[in-house]
A and B are shown apart, each in its own frame.
Chain A
């Protein structure tokens, strides 16, 4: 394991027009670390993790991934992104392709892997997320939980060195949440570096090394998860936790 942290955000600021979305956000994620980002809606969590792979531009500050400045003009963003897996709240599987082709697409066209190899790798990954028998199914024929697991397989197919999860279970029925969290827990156990935006505090408590709490575009707490759940320092985090854990 290398000494340099994999992801470094340094005083990142972003605004839409005059509305600030991120204010001076600094965050460091070491290799193999699992960081959960939580906070009320509109606090900038999704925007923050989308800065890591350059899906969201930012106005000032710096984002470095594996030593490379994400916002620099000279950065080959597609190449950088092919080393980061991303999973979205709304799955975003390609509806005109089977599960298998969804997982194959970026391997063939971004990584230039030979088709046969990409196919074999995809089938392995679909088996890993428990969907070996659904390879030929179209997204519309899969349940939400199955779609999200295909999306995770699709992200893993790039052999990423980090995974970003943007509220991966928020669009799921309660009984499907666990099948997705189980896959994520398995990944965490295998040592994947993960940044997860989620309200699943059970998952955060069990799996995360650190919890980052955001409010109004600021990172207001960033602490080891036991310490965070034991006693949040800020009043805002305490109120937030009591609200989402109460029921």
Chain B
């Protein structure tokens, strides 16, 4: 191998890389918020007592997560072309629909892991079903699924790179553009790989420090109590 590394070309295009990084962060945040909200709603329906609600939630989950994210990107970009939405909005839509199906499954399993007696005790004390859900079931379910939610958030950040195929000028898109001009393939992709890594590590680190998630008093209960 006689490849001569030349990082100066990457440095020259640092403003493009920085712009791409900002778009990646914006895309991730803009998708993560609705992903969590929709995932909570669908997951709660999936854990509900009503068969119709469970079926509807199941259809959503299977329909959304069994289509590759790449196809989501193309489909929403093409299908909604008549709306003339900016590519960014189509990417948010694709990422949200796809990731929220995974969040819904996490939420559903989290609610299922909270002993039924908890909601029953809340009901017996006069709390209304939505109060029991909000005050008793969700806080326990969220603690149970917190580690999986954190890994889902980092998955979403990495998945946002697929938005490059519909010309959203995020990190991977900019890398492709710089590579096309400079032919410095290794340098460019190593640089953005390190940036993705740093971003994901930063998020995991931050989530780990959300108070109440790690130091939660054991929610695991005495099995035979």
Chain A positions within 8 Å of B, measured between CB atoms, are 53, 55, 77-79, 81-84, 86, 88, 90-92, 94-96, 105-106, 109-111, 138-141, 144, 154-155, 158, 171
Contact = CB atoms under 8 A, between A and B. Distances in A.
B155 interface: no
A155 B125 contact: yes
A122 to B, nearest CB: 13
Given A95-B221, A144-B225, A53 B124 contact: yes
Contacts of A94: 118, 121-122, 136, 140
Interface of B: 115, 117-118, 120-128, 131, 135-136, 139-140, 143, 216-219, 221, 224-225
Top 3 A-B pairs, shortest CB-CB distance: A82-B126, A110-B126, A92-B121
A78 B225 contact: no
A54 to B, nearest CB: 9
Contacts of A81: 123-126
A90 B225 contact: yes
Contacts of A171: 224-225
Given A109-B131, A140-B218, A96 B139 contact: yes
Contact of A92 (B118, B218, B224): B118
Nearest to B137: A94
Contact of B135 (A77, A109, A158): A109
B190 to A, nearest CB: 44
A81 to B, nearest CB: 5
Contacts of A158: 125-126
Given A78-B126, A105-B125, A158-B126, A110 B218 contact: no
19 contacts: A82-B125, A86-B121, A86-B124, A88-B124, A92-B115, A92-B121, A94-B118, A95-B217, A95-B219, A96-B219, A105-B125, A105-B136, A106-B122, A106-B126, A109-B131, A110-B131, A140-B217, A158-B125, A171-B225
Contacts of B140: 94-96
A154 B126 CA distance: 12
Contact of B125 (A86, A91, A139): A86
Contacts of A95: 140, 217-219, 221
Contacts of A91: 225
Contacts of A155: 125
Contact of B127 (A53, A96, A106, A144): A106
Q: By CB atoms of chain B within 10 A, which of A77, A91, A96 has the most? A: A96
Q: By CB atoms of chain A within 10 A, which of B136, B143, B221, B225 has the most? A: B225
B123 A105 contact: no
Nearest to B216: A96
A88 B120 CA distance: 10
B126 A79 contact: yes
Nearest to A95: B219
Contact of A88 (B117, B126, B127, B136): B117
B101 to A, nearest CB: 27
